[in-house]
Homo-oligomer: A and B are copies of this chain.
Amino acid sequence: VATKRYLFTPGPTPVPPAVLAAVGAPVLHHRSSDFLPVYERVLGRLRAVCRTENDVLLFGASGTGAFESAVANLVSPGERHLVVSAGSFGERWVAMTSAFGAEVDVLRYAWGETPDADDLRARLGESEAKAVWLVHSETSTGVVADVRALAAAAKDAGSIVVVDAVSSLGAVPCETDAWGLDVVVSGSQKALMSPPGLGLVAVSAGAFAATGSAPRFYFDWERTREAQEKLDAPFTLPVSLVAGLDVALELLLDEGLETAFDRHVRLGRAARAGVKALGLELFSPDEDRSAVVTAVRAPSGIDSGDVIRSLRDRFGITIANGQGDLKGKIFRLGHIGWFDLFDITTQIAAVELVLADLGVDVERGVAVTAALEGFSAEPSRA
């Protein structure tokens, strides 16, 4: 039987058919006159999505690869850097900056906590940091940090601000220039509605001026910037993915960023309303900023892996487990990118069926309606 498949993870995310069609079209040469207009449009549209006048550099790599470009270009051995970590991705950036020889100061929170700008200000008062490394949306916990406030604290201390916006860009506001974010890193496979394989980095003049001595070639910013200025990628780009991203960015910008942000707020509201109506406990914060992924505690005595496997086997639905110590304890309902209300009601309805099947005493017959109502209520944008 041809079971329908539903991809509801917070990356990779579902990709619109028009984007898939572009990805599956015959390959163009990266220096051909057919491809160059696509490349130029993508670079311009990425600036629009990042809300920056700075260069946005495009790499054939995952979001982690693009993040490594920031580390390789900004970190010199022995320098002091501060990483704010409250989850799996924060820990990844601690490991990466350490691997490149930084003396890393970690402002560390328990997974699921929300980083606080006052904490950062206090820590930077104790010791300086060349750069402060922030996670906008900690996909492992569902927490979206107040990057604007955190960045202001870092700027006040004279630090360069680097933001992991991999799962946030295009879903929640990320005002690169207005908030003074020196470096914003993202990837194609989250709210940008494309397959994985492209990483991007918006880089300010200040960040370009602060590049260090770590060895680099593929991820070298200056080489990439000079090449992009001539529309002549330094290395063969994944042209199929660039063609897809071009279509996806057009869809996003046609919808309008503000409209997309509102949609994501509503999707988060719907998911939380549904989860609560089932009688389950939220792990991610119950607030409008939680617009990327809704993390839910597995009911007492239930391994979240069993929920996930049942969703897969009964309904062809893929959602995400917890990471690290949270594996088996939470499950995560994604809603970034090409999601609408019915992707939420599908997730909520399926979770209801699966939990009932697992013998959990969930509220029956109310959660989908609660999700519908959560979506329709007027969002109170924080």
Contact = CB atoms under 8 A, between A and B. Distances in A.
Interface string A181-214: 0000001010000011100000000000000001
Per DSSP, chain A at the interface is loop
A11 B28 CA distance: 10
Interface string A64-91: 1100100110000100000000000000
A62 B236 contact: yes
Contacts of A214: 215
A346 B236 CA distance: 25
A142 interface: no
A60 B63 contact: no
Nearest to A8: B29
A116 to B, nearest CB: 28
A108 interface: no
Contacts of A96: 217
Contact of A217 (B5, B32, B99, B220): B99
**In this complex, which of A9, A26, A95 has the most chain B Cβ atoms within 10 angstroms of its Cβ?**
A26
A20 interface: yes
Contacts of A28: 7, 12
Residue among A5, A14, A220 with most chain B CB within 10 A = A5
Interface in A36-72: 60-65, 68, 71-72
B23 A7 contact: no
A240 B197 contact: yes
B24 A24 contact: yes
A366 interface: no
Contact of A60 (B25, B33, B65, B235): B65
A347 to B, nearest CB: 14
Contact of A218 (B13, B29, B65, B187): B65
A220 B65 CA distance: 11
Interface in A91-139: 95-96, 99-101
9 contacts: A12-B236, A20-B27, A27-B189, A60-B196, A62-B218, A62-B238, A65-B218, A196-B238, A197-B237
